[in-house]
Amino acid sequence: MSEDSDDLAKARQGDRDAFGALVRRYQRRVYATALHILGSHGDADDVTQETFVRAYRAIGQFDGRADFFTWLYRITVNTSLNHVRSGKRVAALAEAGATEADHAGGRPEALGAPQHTPLEWLTMTEDVRRVLETVAGLSETLRITLILATVEQLPYKQIAEILEVPEGTVAWRVNEARRLLRERLGVSSRPSERDAKASPDQPSPQAGRATPAKS
């Protein structure tokens, strides 16, 4: 039995220590995802706490069809989006794909902190500012998918499970987000090897819309 499975079995029986072990194991990754979506350390803290509260309340219904990591990420994304849609926070700057998220080192912000002081903003290069502003201007659907693929470095199959859409839709969204970034930034770039191998099927416009995942 894996470490997650052992703790999950105990947590589902009401063992708070076992659930606490799961929290410690995934807290950094949940926080990093929330920060990339929301762009605020304070909001990311709130969403991280709310995510684990929701997970604790729902863990009895966890059916194991997805692994725990995917299930928890789905709750994280939904909680973050609910935070944005509720008006508590206007979605800020995410990440455009230049640097890997350093989960192991505990550095949640992959392209530099999404929330900047006036001095930091002034000293940024014009190119970095343009990229951050352009990413922030993407639709919610494209931005979230790009974050999961580029910042979180999740495989398309897992992103599809988290967002509850076909894998081909994930590939299309990532390609579309990158196309829009290149177009708006006035640059050209060849698709990555992963995108070149992705499903060529393009979904309908309806398929490209965000479908709230169920926790």
CATH of the domain at 158: 1.10.1740.10
Which residue range forms the structural domain that includes residue 164?
3-208
pLDDT in the model for residue 192: 54
Residue 126 Ramachandran class (φ > 0 left, ψ -120 to 50 alpha, else beta):
alpha
Q: pLDDT tens digit string along 128-165? A: 667 777 777 888 899 899 989 988 889 999 999 999 99
Q: How many CA atoms lie within 13 A of 182 on its CB side?
A: 11
Structural domain includes residue 213: no
- On the question of pLDDT at 210 being above 80, the answer is no
> What are the residues whose beta carbons fall under 8 Å from the beta carbon of 32, sequence distance 6 or more?
101, 103, 108, 109, 110, 151, 152
CA angle, 61 then 62 then 67, to 5°? 170
Q: pLDDT tens digit string along 2-40? A: 778 899 999 999 999 999 999 999 999 999 999 888 888
Structural domain includes residue 215: no
- On the question of pLDDT at 208 being above 70, the answer is no
Structural domain includes residue 214: no
Beta bridge mates, 107: 102
The total number of structural domains in the chain stands at 1
pTM for this model (two decimals): 0.65
The pair phi, psi for residue 107, each rounded to 5°, is -100, 105
Structural domain includes residue 159: yes
